[in-house]
Amino acid sequence: MRGSLRAFDPVRAFGLVAVGLGLLFGATHLPAPIKVARQASSVAATTTRADPVTQTQSICPGPESLGVQGLPDSSAQTVSVAAVSAPLASLPLGFASAKGPGSLTISGLPAGGTWPAPVTVRGQVLSGQVSTNRSTLATAADAMAPGTVATQWSWTKTGTSRALVTSACVPATTSSWLIAGGAAPGRLEHLVVANPGPNPVTVEVSVLGARGPIVSTNGQGLVVAGYARAVFLLDAIAPLEPSPVVHVTATGGKVAAFLDDTWLDGLVPRGGDDVTGQAAPALEQVIAGVPIQGRAILRVGVPGGTEAVVQSRVLTASGPRPLPVGGVTRVAAGSTEDIDLSSLPPGAYGLQVRGDVPVVAAVMVERRRAAGAPSDLAWSTASLPIRTLAGVALPASQAKGLTEQLDLAATKGPASVRVTTVGADGSVSTKEVAMGSDSVSAMSLDAATSVWVTPGAGTVRAAVLTSGTDPGGVQLSVTPLLDLTLTATALPLRQLRN
């Protein structure tokens, strides 16, 4: 693995903050001081304190096609990884400056290889490449821990593997919903499961399909060794399923799960993309970053035992708009439905999906110059609102020819956010962005090495669109911004009087 570092300013850390907890980003919960005051009642009052997290871990899938269970590697593959801690300017209000050491490192699952030296400066990107059968673990410690993210990406411009693929690196969890894939000839899905803990973890893989749940013993009792990863073909669990929705659950520990969707139509490369665990089943799903220009589909899954009535609409810069077709759709219990979005005019959209029972949702978009020509595809997945801070280490800072765009989606009322970018020279720029109710906004991220979204008012989700052009046409990928946990809160203690 080869590393490249970019510095932008000296170490700065921070103190106490009380902010809402968002999607877990590998937080280590440490005991906080507790004051117990004796009162007249039989129960003593307690207080707790929210301290900044002191360690975060995010896991990247690694080369998705290497190490498939039961199969030899058919070709070489190299992916790049970039990790970065948020600049001080992006942190939510309430953080106080406090001196202290911190570090950001990347390592392998399983361990091995040559890794870059640790980074000790906020906003400085730690990057390298992986070309062996392993996932990557980005670990931030002490003052660097709050607000650290990592991104994996690869850009293949020629050959049968032509595709631009990005993936947000995520913390381990016990449950992951993954939407991608299809049954077209040459369509292949790799399920990557990484275990950052020392003990083996047992994984169950269930799949919803167009005709209902798919029952397969091949998805049961899968064991991932400690500090290791395993790669499975989805076709072994749900062969020829045209509309898969995958649920990965872990017992005995936590894992990070990723689904890699690649497509080779005969000798014509049709592209690929990675998806990570998205928002769990809910009555409303919102998808930011939906760049439609040609073929596109909205996939909806209904995990429960009751049929869903699903209402969908697009969000635009000027407000919500109905879908041309399929705005109201019935989806059977335990099944999936693909809704065609191809007749929408070209543009940058968000998608809002509502069901009368909990659903999951994602959008696939394609770019293709002409029938028979190469193409590329990207999956945009539903995410949770940003409540504390979200960010992305940007691939374009590592590869010439890529461009990036931040897409924001506001729902339930007007909203505002603070967008902070870090330039290649270490310069930090901040911009306030206001949006109307149920609308989207986009901004270019040219020359930025990372981007950060700090919520102000309202409900906002975000994603980054990465794109590039080669002789075959446009290639693209979408990376969701995941809400980060910045604090660890100890549970209150109670002391009973005798």
Q: What's the Cα-to-Cα distance from 234 to each of 69, 128, 179, 262, rounded to whole Å?
A: 11, 29, 12, 12
What average pLDDT score do residues 218-242 get? 96
Name the band, by pLDDT with cuts 50, 70 and 90, for residue 366: very high
The DSSP bridge partners found for residue 431 are 419
pLDDT tens, 256-279? 999 999 999 999 999 999 999 999
Q: Is the peptide bond before 110 cis (omega within 30 degrees of 0)?
A: yes
**Is the C-alpha dihedral spanning 482, 487, 490, 492 positive or negative?**
negative
Kind and range of the H or E element at 93? none
| Beta pairing, strands 448-470 & 473-480 | antiparallel
pLDDT tens-digit map of 438-493: 999 999 998 899 999 999 999 999 999 999 999 899 999 999 999 998 988 655 54
Give strand pairing partners of 335: 209
- Tens of pLDDT, residue by residue over 116-146, are 999 999 999 999 999 999 999 999 999 899 9
Q: Residue 29 has what pLDDT?
A: 29
Whether pTM exceeds 0.85: yes
| pLDDT confidence tier of residue 113, bands split at 50, 70 and 90 | confident
Sign for the pseudo-dihedral over CA of 389, 251, 381, 124: positive
Beta strands at 375-381 and 347-368: parallel, antiparallel or unpaired: antiparallel
Which residues have CB under 8 Å from 492's CB, separation 6+? 34, 46, 47, 48
Q: What is the mean pLDDT of residues 29-38?
A: 29
Q: Is the pLDDT of residue 497 over 70?
A: no
Distance CA 464, CA 351 (A): 15
Residue 196: strand pairing partners: none
Q: Is 320 exposed, middle or buried (0-12, 13-18, 19+ CB in 10 A)?
A: middle
Number of CB atoms found within 10 A of residue 452's CB: 30
| Residue 34 pLDDT > 80 | no
**Domains of the chain listed by start with CATH number:** 174-276 (2.60.290.11), 281-382 (2.60.290.11)
Q: Mention every residue, 6+ apart, whose C-beta is less than 8 A from residue 210.
A: 241, 242, 243, 335, 336, 337, 338
Reported as a single tens digit per residue, the pLDDT across 97-106 is 445 679 999 9
User: Per DSSP, what are the bridge partners of residue 463?
Assistant: 407, 480
For the cut 50, the answer to whether the pLDDT of residue 243 exceeds it is yes
DSSP 327: S
Q: What is the pLDDT of residue 159?
A: 93
pLDDT at site 43: 40
Average pLDDT in the 403-421 region? 97
SS3 content of the chain, % helix, strand, coil (to 5): 0, 55, 45
Residue 468 burial (CB count, 10 A): 20
pLDDT at 14 over 50: no
Of the pLDDT bands very low, low, confident and very high (cuts 50, 70, 90), residue 110 is very high
Q: What is the pLDDT of residue 47?
A: 52
pLDDT per position as a tens digit, 52-75:
888 999 999 999 999 999 899 988
Closest by Cα among 420, 428, 435 to 348 = 435
Q: What per-residue confidence (pLDDT) applies to 75?
A: 86
